[in-house]
Chain A
């Protein structure tokens, strides 16, 4: 008993940096946001007060603007994750399977190149690329592909483009790792046993890449739901995202209680989405297992 507690104490001491960091920079801030969301804004010059507690801020948050922005955000995040998957899977497959292994390290480094630049700076870069008087617009007009300047900046399409660009590496890397780890021999075994390319893809390659697909989708979807830089820089008035509304409440409106309520709703919703997608994954897996099950009659002994 004494030995056990001493061992427990040493484990706690060794992991101090980890749990202290988590407690001070994650659990306490999230707890504070949750606590603030039950308060209110007492007057023009005070950001929040918790002297009376209520759910009023949640009611206040659910106004039509917030809800429509929320749906907008969900569409951008969902579509963004889907596009990242559709682009990421073939690219990661190519990287993990087709490319000679000596080039793989270089390709991984190239995938990470965007991260060498600040998030805000590279998003601002898209403003230049997409500008109606920018070089892309000029080139397309000179080639006769477009009649007038491109009108994509400050629309939802620009935000969609921006988020796919910003989050694609986060999708490619876990996909690459899971495809690379699965190795070539299992796919060869599948072909050897009479499965064509497509059956091999759906019965061996993708099921084995499932952990990568799931972690990639979460890595893209979750930060994307809370992203407000991309939307602020490229979206203008049309491409609003919830993150901007939350930031506005904290920074401009100085209504921390309402901002917190919005943030909590966002978190709950992300959690719900993840649970739903997880359930869908489990159902698909159960169906696949049911389809390939082998019922062997036990020999009567």
Chain B
């Protein structure tokens, strides 16, 4: 899935100087007790790349990040930073810095002292520390807070300080562990933009852990979707959105409808609501249980039965939710299947709950995945 990436392929050139921020993860396994938190991961992070580790809580993304930082050691496999293994190297000896989830600012130091901490450990001259702290605080627009106590700052301000404290050390790789989970939505969207601009400016490799797919898509060059300690798919936001590798990825990114059925000939899927045409290919044999995935925004709602569309299903309108930029409809089909449709608001009259409606979607908007848990007797 990574072959058709829009970025220039620079994988495999470890010796090049512009690759100093590359991270290679080779067959890494980490177990807690008997259950693996990370169950064999191979990943190449390119130098200067903004890479997101995306997945639900417990998928191993934070454990993977902590192993790169050095707070955990892998049970199996190897982690290479700029071409050399860092397994067994103490966290303070690794050329990486972390922005922690709860920021972890030192409460007994001022903002400037927090930012200066890393430089002081390297015995940097005082004058240089002052200049670089001032520079770093300016970069995150926190110059006027230098002498404040971090406890007196808001969440967004604390996050900027945590960012300044990490990047002042000029790490080769910056690790970010869900740094925006404590911020409200508006601030989070602002920070996402700023973070992306900052990353371009600095040219540092960013590895960003998040469970928020919108956040990952808005910032990342590539996204790694993880589930149960394994990688599900690696690719750009567009690739993952338009061409999900598994039904899990399809369901995790965006609002997805799944209709279970059996595979027929020529990309047809036979379901309880009729036979649908899907443009997507599937390796599964005819007769295999499959899931047809259609995004909520790909489904059109009609108040009269459409005549030319290939995939039409009738249903009863349920809840209509006005979400601002889109309206979400919940429709129950004849077989009892619930489908979600999202459309941009039009000036026409909205279908009311209980009305009979028809849904349609284009064949290219439906994807077929093997059904991981087919219902018996369906």
Contact = CB atoms under 8 A, between A and B. Distances in A.
A196 B90 contact: yes
Given A189-B100, A194-B118, A293-B113, A208 B130 contact: no
Contact of A193 (B97, B112, B126): B97
B121 A193 contact: yes
- Chain A interface size range: 20 to 34
Contacts, number: 81
A207 interface: yes
A297 B91 contact: no
Contacts of B105: 189
Contacts of A199: 121
A191 B106 contact: no
A199 B122 CA distance: 11
Given A191-B90, A192-B98, A195-B121, A295 B130 contact: yes
A186 B107 CA distance: 9
B165 interface: yes
Given A185-B102, A189-B98, A195 B112 contact: no
Given A188-B100, A190-B106, A207-B108, 16 more contacts: A186-B104, A188-B71, A191-B70, A191-B90, A192-B91, A192-B97, A192-B166, A193-B166, A194-B92, A194-B122, A194-B169, A196-B90, A208-B107, A292-B113, A295-B130, A296-B134
Given A192-B69, A193-B169, A185 B117 contact: no
Contacts of A297: 130, 134
Contact of B106 (A186, A196, A296, A299): A186
Interface of A: 185-186, 188-196, 199, 203-204, 207-208, 292-297, 299
Most chain A beta-carbon neighbours within 10 Å: one of B69, B92, B113, B166:
B92
Contacts of B104: 185-186, 188-189
Contacts of A194: 92, 118, 121-122, 169
Nearest to B95: A194
Contacts of A195: 92, 117, 121
A171 B117 CA distance: 30
Nearest to A285: B108
4 smallest A-B Cβ distances: which pairs? A193-B118, A189-B104, A194-B121, A294-B112
A193 B71 contact: no
